[in-house]
Amino acid sequence: MKKIIIILFAGLSLQLFAQEEFLHISESLQISNSENKAIMLVFSGSDWCKPCIQLKKEILDSASFTDLTEQFVFMYLDFPYKKANRLSPEETKHNESLAEFFNPDGQFPKVVLIDGFKNKIADLNYEKGMSCESFISNLEQIIESYE
């Protein structure tokens, strides 16, 4: 019985995690408008783009950034190359449609802040070796001016 409960709990946890991973733009817009929060779009090539990998490792996965995510809606839009990392067709199409509009030049990584009506607020620059503190400071300034 104990094993069954653990398996069910693990399955439920994985299901909730998977649901949280893929946030559709319509959901993000709804949250943005109801909570008056900006939306952060991060365009990344998680398995081929070295600066993207560094951005995720050094900034997006940091405790400082995680603490800040309550102030905006976060969308990680991945464009993996390796077959093993491919996204679902639905998620691929979703990410490509957002890239057409907000990242037409195909820059990676690219970080864009938008409002709940798909209006661009700002582009955040990330350069190789940029400190977490510097990135977060820029982000906080933009969020404060949005609120």
Q: What is the pLDDT of residues 122-136, one digit of tens each?
A: 999 888 888 999 999
pLDDT over 70 at 116, yes or no: yes
Strands of the sheet with 38-44, listed across from one edge = 72-78, 38-44, 110-114, 120-124
Query: Within 10 Å of residue 63's Cβ, how many Cβ atoms?
Result: 8
Sketch out the chain's domains with CATH numbers.
24-146 (3.40.30.10)
* Pick from 126, 121, 129: nearest CA to 112: 121
Per-residue confidence (pLDDT) for residue 7, from 0 to 100:
39
Find the DSSP H helices in the chain. Answer: 2-21, 25-35, 50-55, 63-68, 89-102, 132-146
39: which residues sit within 8 A by CB, 6+ positions away?
28, 29, 32, 72, 73, 74, 75, 113, 114, 115, 116
Q: What is the pLDDT of residues 11-68, one digit of tens each?
A: 433 333 333 456 899 999 999 999 999 999 999 999 999 999 999 999 999 999 999 9
The pair phi, psi for residue 40, each rounded to 5°, is -100, 120
Q: What is the pLDDT of residues 82-106, one digit of tens each?
A: 999 999 999 999 999 999 999 999 9
